[in-house]
Amino acid sequence: MGCDEVHPRLDAYLDGELAETERRPLRDHLQSCPDCGPEAAALERLREGIRRSAPVYRAPDALRSQIRFALRREAAASAPAALPHASRWLAYAASLLLAVAIGSGGTFVFLGERQTDPVASEILDNHLRSLLGTHLTDVASSDQHTVKPWFAGRTDLSPPAVDLAVEGFPLVGGRLELIAGKPVPALVYKRREHVINLFVLPASRSDRGETLTRHGYNLRHWDEGDLGFWAVTDASPTDLAEFERQFRAATKS
């Protein structure tokens, strides 16, 4: 078994999710490889460090159900392709935090910081999960007449799926997410190499008018009529504010 075969399976190996027939050759490789062996050991230390230091908070039953639903959905998806070295570290750390949340009955914790806004916390969780595997979109299209009708019958909300390619924010598709136990649309845009997830919820009548930052991810929230929009990305706050401006201009009736 070569390094290119080991890397996509390393997380599952450390989580004990592989059958013994797959574990044996991978274990032999880790014992003899000067690159993969130390990497696996470092990831194992990271796992244990997070488990020891992450605080425990009791999560509502609805949140626990949402986490289990998300895990089942990800497990049903095809196995993700090998990620770049740096991205594997991020994906592994996120998967550990997800395991801590379920195993301890806790809410999501980002490197020991408890999220005080439950909606913002769920938005971040769903955004991060969408980047880890192959489930960025359920419907992949830049055509609003394809994306918008796809949500009919799947959610009570009808998202304005406008394409902003000319403005530098192309629409790439959409998917269904669970927020507060209810299915909601998530529109997917790009800003160069950055993904912008735009979650559409019922309006909360509390426009933030500012960019929230959580561990490298930026969020903006605004309301339009009966709909509330949450945009999250690792693009710059300036790009995110410009996205909001262009989206509002394109959807203004």
Cross-strand pairs, 187: 174, 198
Average pLDDT, the chain: 78
Q: Strand, coil or helix: what is 158?
A: coil
Closest to 238 (Cα-Cα) out of 173, 169, 185, 186: 169
C-alpha–C-alpha distance, residues 217 and 212, integer Å: 8
Rounded mean pLDDT of 34-63?
A: 72
**pLDDT class of 60 with cuts at 50, 70, 90:** low
- The more confident residue out of 187 and 207 is 187
Q: Which residues pair with 221 in a beta bridge?
A: 230
Give the domains, in start order, of the chain with CATH numbers. Answer: 3-114 (no CATH), 144-251 (3.30.200.100)
Instruction: Look up the pTM and report it.
Output: 0.55
Query: Is residue 243 exposed (0-12), middle (13-18) or buried (19+ Cβ within 10 Å)?
Result: buried
Q: Can you give the pLDDT at residue 200?
A: 95
pLDDT category of residue 54 using cuts at 50, 70 and 90:
low
